[in-house]
Structure 1
Amino acid sequence: MALSPLKPASARAVKVTRVTRPSKTYSFDFNTGELGLSTVDGIDALRQFIAKAIYTARFRFLIYTSQYGCEIDDLIGQDVSTALLQAEIPRVLKEALIYDDRILDVRNFVIRRGTGTEADALYVSFTVDSVTNGTFTQEVVI
């Protein structure tokens, strides 16, 4: 006979099923800054979240939690080597995205510098493994 008044572990356990909520949001044009009247859902909403999380500076806006945003702006404009960029950009972008429930993993980063008139731009493409939308490639310009 057990000394604990609690029920056995099998009687206390509760089975939890994961429910994915809709990710519907208003469309946003990052080029013009205009909020659209239409809504997006699924992979389009996830792509929009990824871009917005990367372009939003972390710890700068009180409306967002400390988990939201990216610290990439701390690297941009600094005189850092290509090797440091290759190491830090994947880490910073993964930290910005992985906390979202829809994203399982962020991997396969390809980073290249712009040329000509866009020499100060960085083109970053990466693979995103998501819960509901499978695997897809996302590219952002930083």
Structure 2
Amino acid sequence: MVVALSPEVEIPEMDELSFNELLELKTYRFDFETRRLTSELISGLDAIKQSILFALHIPRYTHPIYSADTGNELADMLADNETTVAFKIMEIERLVTEALIYDPRIEQVYDFVIEHIDDAFHVNFKVDTALGEIEIKEVLSA
């Protein structure tokens, strides 16, 4: 089955895609600063990076439009005032990795560097994908 968003762009359902088709899939660029979709179509490493950023910014199980494989479980852990910073740093690495491993394009998540500054965690890590390496730098807070 093919779902059409407009007469010009047909988007096949994910379970019908082969791995190579998944790598070539185009999606609309999301502007994380304005929190809006743009009309620019992206694919390849740009699309994978966007998928990673979505996984880091979307709480898992919160929005019914996303499957249970989408998003993360960081919010409750980061907001917990009973746990230590050391425990949170350890959990961030695990929870970020768990948020990303569901994407078949992602092969490995590694090289975490996490710093606690003020009330936020500055997280840097690398992701090996089927199309190459991506370096991610994000700030996570409750």
Give the shorter-chain TM-score range: 0.7 to 0.9
Q: For residues 133 and 19 of structure 2, what CA distance do their matches in structure 1 show?
A: 20
Task: Indicate the structure (1 or 2) with the bigger Cα radius of gyration.
Answer: 1
Which stretches of structure 1, 4 residues or more, deviate above 6 A after TM superposition? Answer: none
Higher relative contact order (CA 8 A, sep 6+): 2
Equivalent in the alignment of 2:27: 25
Note the residue ranges of structure 1 that are not aligned, 5 or more in a row.
1-16
Note the residue ranges of structure 2 that are not aligned, 5 or more in a row.
1-17
CA spacing shift, 1:54–1:42, aligned 2, 3 Å: same
Once the two structures are superposed, the pairs formed by residues 1-142 of structure 1 within 5 Å of their partners are: 19-21=20-22, 22-79=24-81, 80-114=83-117, 119-132=118-131, 134-142=132-140
The 8 Å contact of residues 23 and 46 in structure 1, kept in 2 or not, is answered as no
> Which structure dedicates a bigger proportion of its chain to strand?
2
Equivalent in the alignment of 2:13: none
Question: What is the root-mean-square deviation in Å for CA atoms of aligned residues?
Answer: 1.5
> Which structure dedicates a bigger proportion of its chain to helix?
2
- Calculate percent identity across the aligned residue pairs: 36
The 8 Å contact of residues 49 and 134 in structure 2, kept in 1 or not, is answered as no
